Structure 1
Amino acid sequence: MTTALLRHRLAIVLLAAVGILSACGGGKAGPAASRTAATMSDDQIMTLVRQYGQCMRDHGVARFRDGTLEDGRLTRAGAPDGSVTEEQMRAATEACEHISAQLPASVLAPEPPPSAAKLEQMTRFSECVRQHGLPDWPDPDSRGAFKLTDPTVVKSDKFQAAQAACKEHYDGGIKINGGSKK
């Protein structure tokens, strides 16, 4: 099984488990079953996210990343490709569902793809960045991420200068290989 396919399946297992639990309240009644992102602070959500991450690590997913909360959605959470099997992820997810059931469903919803207009702005930004000293800078993918062979380039002075010169085309967050840099 390819790494990308395994990552996709692991994400589906995690999101499906959390989505099902959120939809039915995890079999629990009371305040936890009715929580929404609007009724919970970011700190409360991140406390649950950290508890969930620790539970996943305690149940065999040693390299599970807690992730961060960006624009009301959990990003960069999960296990690195190839670090666990689908069975290990499923077992840990089931063991930790008492925590994931408390997370608002909207926090776990996938980010919608960028509009065609935004993708066009990002493509013009890419062209500009290439013209300002980074000839290998890629166009955005359909999710608005820039697939970089060396993600550290965004910390370079050369990129900072190119980004400043090209902000007229696009001045939003930069997703790199699926993650974000604001």
Structure 2
Amino acid sequence: MTFLALAVALTAAGCSSSADEGSSGRPTAGKQAVTFSACMRDHGVKDFPDPDASGELTIDGVLNGSSLDPEAPAWKQAIAACKDLQPAGFTGRKRTAEEQKPALAFAQCIRDHGVKDFPDPTEDSPLVDTNRIPSTNSEGGMAALNAAMDECGELARKAIEGR
């Protein structure tokens, strides 16, 4: 399964009622991000987007290129109301130690499959941040990353689900 197909499948799984919880009984990361987005819209930030195709949601991804204003009263009220739903990588929400283990295993797999400069994600960063992978700016860099992500798809799924 290609990573793109995996990402689409994970996003769809994160939205379905049958995949609301991971094996730990907690909402999966994808489901949590979808729930957080809905909460933000319900609390007045009408243009707040759903997670991207990888199932991740970051403050940079939400604000870059959008008309959303994090200084607006509606944004501040919604962030306060939805803070317990914030996914890892968003403002103030960090992965737990348990959630970080599969994220680190995924990063190692990517390095083992040829992307030597793939960084370990920090507890508060997205699983994949191409801004932190210099080789993706070189010729063939994105192809190498996509090939590695195809090989590490199962670990990506586990990292996104936090198990």
- TM norm. shorter chain > 0.5: no
TM-score normalised by the chain length of structure 1: 0.39
Larger radius of gyration: 1
Q: Return the structure number with greater strand share.
A: 1
Greater RCO, CA 8 A, separation 6+: 2
